[in-house]
Structure 1
Amino acid sequence: CVIEPLDERALIALQGPKAETVLAKFCAEAPAMRFMDAGPRKVMGLDCIVSRSGYTGEDGFEISVAATSAEELTRALLAEADVQPIGLGARDSLRLEAGLCLYGHDIDTTTTPVEATLEWSVQKVRRPGGQRAGGFLGAEKILAQFGAGAPRRRVGLKPEGRAPVREGANLFADEGAAEPVGKVTSGGFGPTLNAPVAMGYLPAALAAIDTKVFAEVRGQRLALRVAATPFVKNTYKR
C-alpha cells in the first residue's frame, strides 16, 4: 500500500434548496449527481472532488479544491444572488433539526449504535441471526442490545416553551425529582421550525414519543416532550 498525500486542500460546503441551480453554472455534471455521489469534477475549470452531501439535512454539495484556488471559487459562488455566507453555527442548528448526531456530543466511544438509534449502521448480515453475525469491535454488547434492547436511548426533545435547552442540561422524570435520569447532548433554537429543539439520552422506559420530562435550566425545571426525529424532513436528492 502506497499513500500519496494530496496537495493542501480546502473544503467548501454549498447547501440549500438552490444549491444545484447555482453549482450547475460552474459544474455541468452537478445536476446528474444524487445524494452521496462523489468523485472528481471540474468546477469553474478547476480540478475538484465533489460530493452531493453535507451535514445539514438540506440538499447540497461539498467541494474539495486546492487551497490555492479556494478563495477564487468561494468568491465566485458568493457572487451569485442566491448564495449567502454562513458559519458552523448555522450548520449545527440545521443538523440538529435534521436529527443528525455530532460526534463528541450525541455519540462518543461510550455509545452503542442501539443506544444512539443508529441501528442502520450495522449491516443486517452482522446482526443476530445474520450470515456473518458479530466480528466487529463491541459486537458482544451491541448484539445483546439488538436482542434485549438498550438501557438508554437517544431521543428528540421539544421544549414546551420558547426557551432553548442547551447541551449538558440534566433531565428529570418529574418536576420535583432529586436525581437526573438523563442529559441533553445537543440543543438550540431551530430556525426552520421557529422553535427550540434538543436531543439527549433517557432511560428506555422514558423514551416513548410524547413522554414528558423536565430539564434544569438556570435553577428552573422546564418541561419537554419526547419527539420523533428528524424535526424537519430532509431534502436529499435521491
Structure 2
Amino acid sequence: MKNVIVTGTSRGIGYKLALKYANEGHNVLALSRKTAKELLEHKNITCLSVDLSNSDGLNQTEKYIKENFKYVDIVVHNAGALLLKPFAEITAEEFEYIYKVNVFGVAALNRLVLPYMQKGSHVVTISSMGGIQGSMKFAGLSAYSSSKGAVITLSELLAEEYKEQGVSFNVLALGAVNTEMLQEAFPGYEAPLKPEEMADYIYEFSLTGNKFYNGKVLQVSSTTP
C-alpha cells in the first residue's frame, strides 16, 4: 500500500487515476481546484481543493502530508492548463498563468514533498508530445507546449540531483487521449485512447517504472496529434 499524490483530479486522466489507485487499496491525496463527488466519497481518497501556484495551497498540502501520510511514495504531476490562441494575441498574464500551473506548480510541489520521500520513491510528470524537441507542433499552443518542454528538462535535472537519495524522476510525454482538454485543443478530433486506458498505463508505470528508468522521457503516443 502506497501513499500517493495526484494533481489535476477533477476530470479526465487525473480523475480516473486517483480512482485506480484508491480501488487498488492505496492511500490517495487528490489535489485539484475542483473536486469530483465520487472521489470525495471514496474511503481511500482525501481531496484538497487547492491552487499549487500559491502559498496557501502548498501549506494545506504540507499540513496534510505531515499529519497523515508522514511519507510519500509516488507523486503524479497531472494538473495542466491549456491555452489555444495565436502567439501575438496571448497576453503576458495569460502566458504566465500557463507556466504557473504547468511549471511553477510542479516545481513547488516537488520542493514540498521531497523531504517526505524515501529511497525507492517515484515522481512522474505528465508532459505532452508537444513538449518534445523535434516533434510535430501545432499553431496556437505556444504557451502550453513550451511549458511542457520546461517540465521535461526540470525532471531530468532533478533526477540527477536526487539520485543519491534514491528518488526517481521520470516524464511521460502523452499523445492524444480523448479528454476534455484534447477537445479544447482539437475540437471534433476523436483520439483512440480513453482516459481510463491512459490512467491504467500511468498507474503501472508509477509503481514499477523507476526500477528501469530515471531521468527519462517516455513518449506515450500512437497517433498525431
TM-score of the two chains, using structure 1 as the length reference:
0.24
Larger radius of gyration: 1
Higher relative contact order (CA 8 A, sep 6+): 2
More strand, by proportion? 1
More helix, by proportion? 2
